[in-house]
Structure 1
Amino acid sequence: MSIRRSVLVAAVLCALPVLGAPQGHAYPSGAGNGGCRQGSVMTGRLVPGTGSAGQNIRRAATLRECVSSLLPGIEAGQFSVTIPWNAPGATSAATFAWSDGSVSAATGFGNGLWLITDGPASGHGIQVDVADSWNGWYYSYADVAVTSATFLS
Protein backbone atom coordinates (compact mmCIF):
# COMPACT_ATOMS: atom_id res chain seq x y z
CA MET A 1 0.00 0.00 0.00
CA SER A 2 2.77 2.49 0.82
CA ILE A 3 4.49 1.79 -2.53
CA ARG A 4 1.28 2.69 -4.40
CA ARG A 5 0.92 5.85 -2.33
CA SER A 6 4.55 6.81 -3.06
CA VAL A 7 4.03 6.28 -6.78
CA LEU A 8 0.81 8.31 -6.71
CA VAL A 9 2.45 11.18 -4.79
CA ALA A 10 5.39 11.20 -7.22
CA ALA A 11 3.03 11.22 -10.22
CA VAL A 12 1.02 14.13 -8.79
CA LEU A 13 4.17 16.12 -7.98
CA CYS A 14 5.46 15.60 -11.53
CA ALA A 15 2.12 16.64 -13.03
CA LEU A 16 1.67 19.85 -11.03
CA PRO A 17 3.86 22.04 -13.27
CA VAL A 18 2.00 20.76 -16.33
CA LEU A 19 -1.42 21.23 -14.75
CA GLY A 20 -0.56 24.78 -13.71
CA ALA A 21 0.63 25.81 -17.17
CA PRO A 22 -1.83 27.70 -19.38
CA GLN A 23 -3.43 25.33 -21.85
CA GLY A 24 -4.24 26.03 -25.49
CA HIS A 25 -2.37 29.30 -25.78
CA ALA A 26 0.39 30.04 -28.23
CA TYR A 27 2.61 33.05 -28.13
CA PRO A 28 3.55 35.10 -31.15
CA SER A 29 6.95 34.25 -32.49
CA GLY A 30 9.45 37.05 -32.80
CA ALA A 31 9.25 39.90 -30.34
CA GLY A 32 9.96 42.52 -33.04
CA ASN A 33 6.48 43.81 -33.88
CA GLY A 34 4.48 41.88 -31.27
CA GLY A 35 1.00 40.57 -31.77
CA CYS A 36 -1.82 38.92 -29.86
CA ARG A 37 -1.13 36.01 -27.51
CA GLN A 38 -4.56 34.40 -27.54
CA GLY A 39 -7.41 33.80 -29.88
CA SER A 40 -10.88 32.32 -29.75
CA VAL A 41 -12.50 29.72 -31.92
CA MET A 42 -12.78 31.18 -35.41
CA THR A 43 -16.30 30.48 -36.55
CA GLY A 44 -17.12 29.53 -40.11
CA ARG A 45 -20.46 29.80 -41.87
CA LEU A 46 -21.45 29.41 -45.51
CA VAL A 47 -23.19 32.45 -46.99
CA PRO A 48 -24.16 33.35 -50.56
CA GLY A 49 -21.23 34.83 -52.47
CA THR A 50 -18.74 34.62 -55.32
CA GLY A 51 -16.92 31.38 -54.46
CA SER A 52 -17.54 27.89 -55.75
CA ALA A 53 -21.24 27.09 -56.11
CA GLY A 54 -22.02 30.75 -55.32
CA GLN A 55 -20.88 30.39 -51.70
CA ASN A 56 -18.54 32.32 -49.39
CA ILE A 57 -17.33 31.48 -45.89
CA ARG A 58 -17.91 34.13 -43.23
CA ARG A 59 -15.32 33.85 -40.43
CA ALA A 60 -14.83 35.72 -37.15
CA ALA A 61 -12.46 35.38 -34.18
CA THR A 62 -11.50 37.37 -31.12
CA LEU A 63 -7.83 38.23 -30.51
CA ARG A 64 -6.74 38.90 -26.91
CA GLU A 65 -3.63 39.93 -24.98
CA CYS A 66 -2.37 42.12 -27.81
CA VAL A 67 0.91 43.96 -27.27
CA SER A 68 2.62 45.80 -30.10
CA SER A 69 4.27 49.12 -30.81
CA LEU A 70 2.12 49.11 -33.95
CA LEU A 71 -1.03 49.13 -31.78
CA PRO A 72 -0.24 51.35 -28.78
CA GLY A 73 -2.93 51.01 -26.11
CA ILE A 74 -4.78 48.24 -27.92
CA GLU A 75 -5.33 45.07 -25.89
CA ALA A 76 -7.76 43.05 -28.02
CA GLY A 77 -9.45 42.88 -31.38
CA GLN A 78 -12.15 41.20 -33.45
CA PHE A 79 -11.06 39.68 -36.77
CA SER A 80 -13.72 39.17 -39.44
CA VAL A 81 -13.56 38.17 -43.08
CA THR A 82 -15.68 36.72 -45.86
CA ILE A 83 -13.68 34.33 -48.06
CA PRO A 84 -14.84 32.92 -51.41
CA TRP A 85 -15.40 29.21 -50.80
CA ASN A 86 -13.07 26.82 -52.63
CA ALA A 87 -11.38 29.64 -54.56
CA PRO A 88 -7.74 29.50 -53.39
CA GLY A 89 -6.45 32.26 -55.69
CA ALA A 90 -9.09 34.82 -54.74
CA THR A 91 -8.21 37.68 -52.40
CA SER A 92 -10.47 38.69 -49.56
CA ALA A 93 -11.05 41.84 -47.54
CA ALA A 94 -10.80 41.47 -43.75
CA THR A 95 -11.26 43.83 -40.83
CA PHE A 96 -9.67 44.01 -37.41
CA ALA A 97 -11.86 45.98 -35.01
CA TRP A 98 -9.54 46.97 -32.12
CA SER A 99 -10.41 47.48 -28.46
CA ASP A 100 -9.84 51.26 -28.68
CA GLY A 101 -12.60 51.58 -31.31
CA SER A 102 -10.27 51.84 -34.32
CA VAL A 103 -10.52 49.52 -37.32
CA SER A 104 -7.81 48.18 -39.61
CA ALA A 105 -8.76 47.07 -43.11
CA ALA A 106 -6.73 44.22 -44.63
CA THR A 107 -6.50 42.12 -47.77
CA GLY A 108 -5.20 38.61 -48.15
CA PHE A 109 -5.90 35.03 -48.98
CA GLY A 110 -7.50 32.34 -46.89
CA ASN A 111 -4.14 31.23 -45.48
CA GLY A 112 -4.10 33.54 -42.47
CA LEU A 113 -1.66 36.16 -43.82
CA TRP A 114 -3.19 39.63 -44.16
CA LEU A 115 -1.73 42.95 -45.34
CA ILE A 116 -3.18 45.84 -43.36
CA THR A 117 -4.08 48.51 -45.90
CA ASP A 118 -5.78 51.12 -43.70
CA GLY A 119 -5.99 52.02 -40.02
CA PRO A 120 -3.63 51.08 -37.18
CA ALA A 121 -0.56 49.09 -38.31
CA SER A 122 -1.19 50.09 -41.94
CA GLY A 123 1.50 48.75 -44.26
CA HIS A 124 2.32 45.77 -42.04
CA GLY A 125 1.27 42.16 -42.28
CA ILE A 126 -0.48 40.13 -39.62
CA GLN A 127 -0.44 36.33 -39.52
CA VAL A 128 -3.48 34.78 -37.85
CA ASP A 129 -2.22 31.45 -36.52
CA VAL A 130 -4.55 28.50 -36.04
CA ALA A 131 -4.17 25.35 -33.93
CA ASP A 132 -4.56 23.13 -36.97
CA SER A 133 -1.49 23.30 -39.20
CA TRP A 134 -3.76 23.16 -42.26
CA ASN A 135 -4.62 26.71 -43.31
CA GLY A 136 -7.17 25.85 -46.00
CA TRP A 137 -9.78 28.24 -44.67
CA TYR A 138 -11.29 28.58 -48.16
CA TYR A 139 -11.94 24.83 -48.46
CA SER A 140 -13.91 24.32 -45.27
CA TYR A 141 -16.28 26.31 -43.13
CA ALA A 142 -15.46 24.23 -40.03
CA ASP A 143 -14.66 26.19 -36.88
CA VAL A 144 -10.90 26.52 -36.21
CA ALA A 145 -9.09 27.52 -32.99
CA VAL A 146 -6.97 30.67 -33.34
CA THR A 147 -3.87 30.43 -31.16
CA SER A 148 -2.26 33.82 -31.79
CA ALA A 149 -1.63 36.60 -34.27
CA THR A 150 1.83 37.94 -35.14
CA PHE A 151 2.75 41.21 -36.86
CA LEU A 152 5.20 41.01 -39.75
CA SER A 153 7.11 43.85 -41.39
Structure 2
Amino acid sequence: MFIRRAILIAVILWAIPLLAAPHGQTQPPSSGNGGCAQGGLMTGRSTPGTGSAGQNIHREATLRDCASPLLPGIYAGQFSVTIPWNAAGATSTATFTWSDGRVSTATGYGNGLWSITSGPASGHGIQFHMADTWIGWYFSYADATVISATFLP
Protein backbone atom coordinates (compact mmCIF):
# COMPACT_ATOMS: atom_id res chain seq x y z
CA MET A 1 0.00 0.00 0.00
CA PHE A 2 2.81 2.44 0.94
CA ILE A 3 4.62 1.79 -2.37
CA ARG A 4 1.44 2.46 -4.41
CA ARG A 5 0.84 5.70 -2.52
CA ALA A 6 4.46 6.80 -3.06
CA ILE A 7 4.20 6.07 -6.79
CA LEU A 8 0.91 7.99 -7.04
CA ILE A 9 2.46 11.01 -5.26
CA ALA A 10 5.51 10.86 -7.55
CA VAL A 11 3.30 10.77 -10.67
CA ILE A 12 1.23 13.73 -9.45
CA LEU A 13 4.34 15.76 -8.64
CA TRP A 14 5.78 14.85 -12.02
CA ALA A 15 2.66 16.01 -13.87
CA ILE A 16 2.11 19.37 -12.13
CA PRO A 17 5.11 21.18 -13.69
CA LEU A 18 4.24 19.88 -17.15
CA LEU A 19 0.78 21.36 -16.95
CA ALA A 20 1.72 24.64 -15.28
CA ALA A 21 5.06 25.72 -16.75
CA PRO A 22 4.98 28.37 -19.47
CA HIS A 23 7.85 28.29 -21.94
CA GLY A 24 10.00 30.94 -23.58
CA GLN A 25 9.78 33.71 -20.96
CA THR A 26 12.75 35.90 -20.07
CA GLN A 27 13.51 37.98 -17.02
CA PRO A 28 16.47 40.32 -16.77
CA PRO A 29 18.82 39.71 -13.85
CA SER A 30 18.11 42.16 -11.02
CA SER A 31 21.39 41.86 -9.13
CA GLY A 32 24.39 44.19 -9.45
CA ASN A 33 26.36 40.98 -9.92
CA GLY A 34 24.42 40.26 -13.12
CA GLY A 35 23.20 36.89 -14.24
CA CYS A 36 21.62 35.17 -17.19
CA ALA A 37 18.52 36.83 -18.64
CA GLN A 38 17.21 33.71 -20.29
CA GLY A 39 16.99 30.11 -19.25
CA GLY A 40 15.56 27.13 -21.01
CA LEU A 41 14.04 23.77 -20.37
CA MET A 42 15.59 22.01 -17.38
CA THR A 43 15.47 18.35 -18.26
CA GLY A 44 15.18 15.61 -15.71
CA ARG A 45 15.64 11.88 -15.86
CA SER A 46 15.64 9.12 -13.30
CA THR A 47 18.90 7.24 -12.83
CA PRO A 48 20.10 4.59 -10.39
CA GLY A 49 21.71 6.17 -7.36
CA THR A 50 21.82 6.90 -3.66
CA GLY A 51 18.39 8.46 -3.13
CA SER A 52 15.21 6.87 -1.89
CA ALA A 53 14.48 3.54 -3.59
CA GLY A 54 18.01 3.65 -5.03
CA GLN A 55 17.17 6.46 -7.48
CA ASN A 56 18.67 9.83 -8.41
CA ILE A 57 17.40 12.60 -10.66
CA HIS A 58 19.83 13.98 -13.24
CA ARG A 59 19.05 17.54 -14.36
CA GLU A 60 20.49 19.79 -17.06
CA ALA A 61 19.64 23.33 -18.16
CA THR A 62 21.09 25.94 -20.49
CA LEU A 63 21.50 29.56 -19.40
CA ARG A 64 21.77 32.27 -22.09
CA ASP A 65 22.19 36.04 -22.39
CA CYS A 66 24.59 36.06 -19.42
CA ALA A 67 26.37 39.23 -18.34
CA SER A 68 28.21 39.61 -15.08
CA PRO A 69 31.36 41.23 -13.71
CA LEU A 70 31.90 37.86 -12.01
CA LEU A 71 32.10 36.15 -15.41
CA PRO A 72 33.67 38.60 -17.87
CA GLY A 73 33.34 37.46 -21.47
CA ILE A 74 30.96 34.62 -20.64
CA TYR A 75 27.58 34.78 -22.40
CA ALA A 76 26.07 31.31 -21.71
CA GLY A 77 26.39 28.26 -19.51
CA GLN A 78 25.28 24.65 -19.15
CA PHE A 79 24.13 23.44 -15.70
CA SER A 80 24.36 19.76 -14.78
CA VAL A 81 23.59 18.01 -11.47
CA THR A 82 22.56 14.63 -10.10
CA ILE A 83 20.30 14.87 -7.05
CA PRO A 84 19.29 11.97 -4.80
CA TRP A 85 15.57 11.31 -5.27
CA ASN A 86 13.35 12.10 -2.29
CA ALA A 87 16.31 13.18 -0.10
CA ALA A 88 15.54 16.86 0.50
CA GLY A 89 18.31 17.39 3.09
CA ALA A 90 21.13 15.99 0.96
CA THR A 91 23.54 18.41 -0.69
CA SER A 92 24.50 17.84 -4.30
CA THR A 93 27.42 18.98 -6.43
CA ALA A 94 26.61 20.67 -9.73
CA THR A 95 28.77 21.89 -12.59
CA PHE A 96 28.38 24.98 -14.75
CA THR A 97 30.25 24.70 -18.04
CA TRP A 98 30.60 28.26 -19.32
CA SER A 99 30.74 29.45 -22.92
CA ASP A 100 34.50 30.08 -22.70
CA GLY A 101 35.12 26.43 -21.74
CA ARG A 102 35.82 27.03 -18.05
CA VAL A 103 33.90 25.06 -15.43
CA SER A 104 32.53 26.12 -12.04
CA THR A 105 31.57 23.62 -9.36
CA ALA A 106 28.69 24.43 -7.03
CA THR A 107 26.93 22.85 -4.08
CA GLY A 108 23.26 23.13 -3.29
CA TYR A 109 20.15 21.47 -2.04
CA GLY A 110 18.29 21.41 -5.34
CA ASN A 111 16.16 24.40 -4.44
CA GLY A 112 17.44 26.69 -7.16
CA LEU A 113 20.17 28.32 -5.02
CA TRP A 114 23.72 27.08 -5.62
CA SER A 115 26.98 28.19 -3.95
CA ILE A 116 29.85 28.27 -6.42
CA THR A 117 32.83 26.61 -4.72
CA SER A 118 35.45 26.58 -7.50
CA GLY A 119 36.05 28.04 -10.94
CA PRO A 120 34.66 31.31 -12.32
CA ALA A 121 32.49 33.25 -9.79
CA SER A 122 33.84 31.14 -6.92
CA GLY A 123 32.59 32.36 -3.56
CA HIS A 124 29.30 33.62 -4.97
CA GLY A 125 25.88 32.10 -5.41
CA ILE A 126 23.58 31.62 -8.36
CA GLN A 127 19.79 31.54 -8.01
CA PHE A 128 17.58 29.91 -10.64
CA HIS A 129 14.22 31.58 -11.28
CA MET A 130 11.68 28.97 -12.31
CA ALA A 131 8.51 29.49 -14.37
CA ASP A 132 6.32 28.58 -11.41
CA THR A 133 6.63 27.61 -7.76
CA TRP A 134 7.92 24.24 -8.84
CA ILE A 135 9.34 22.06 -6.04
CA GLY A 136 10.26 19.07 -8.15
CA TRP A 137 14.05 19.21 -7.80
CA TYR A 138 13.99 16.15 -5.50
CA PHE A 139 10.60 14.62 -5.98
CA SER A 140 10.08 14.63 -9.73
CA TYR A 141 12.19 14.08 -12.82
CA ALA A 142 9.74 16.17 -14.86
CA ASP A 143 11.18 18.83 -17.13
CA ALA A 144 10.71 22.42 -15.88
CA THR A 145 11.32 25.87 -17.32
CA VAL A 146 14.15 28.08 -16.05
CA ILE A 147 13.26 31.72 -16.75
CA SER A 148 16.58 33.28 -15.68
CA ALA A 149 19.38 33.13 -13.12
CA THR A 150 20.89 35.80 -10.86
CA PHE A 151 24.35 35.89 -9.29
CA LEU A 152 24.39 36.65 -5.56
CA PRO A 153 27.18 38.07 -3.38
TM-score, length basis structure 1: 0.83
Structure 1 runs (4+) deviating above 3 angstroms are: none
Structure 2 residue ranges without an equivalent (≥5)? 1-23
User: Offset of 1:116 from its aligned partner?
Assistant: 0.3
Identity of aligned residues (%): 73
CA distance in 1 between partners of 2:42 and 2:136 (Å): 13
Give the equivalent residue in structure 2 for 1:54.
54
- Residue by residue over 1:104-127, the C-alpha shift from the partner in whole angstroms, topping out at 9 and shown as x without a partner, is 000001101000000000000000
Matched, 1:72 2:72: yes
CA contact (8 A) 1:112 1:135 kept: no
CA distance in 1 between partners of 2:126 and 2:25 (Å): 20
* Relative contact order, higher structure (CA 8 A, sep 6+): 2
CA distance in 2 between partners of 1:28 and 1:85 (Å): 30
After superposition, where does 1:23-102 map in structure 2 within 5 Å? 24-30=25-31, 32-102=32-102
User: Would you say how many aligned residue pairs link Structure 1 and Structure 2?
Assistant: 130
Greater Cα offset, 135-144 or 116-125 = 135-144
SS of the residue corresponding to residue 97 of structure 1 reads strand
Structure 1 residue ranges without an equivalent (≥5)? 1-22
TM-score, length basis structure 2: 0.83
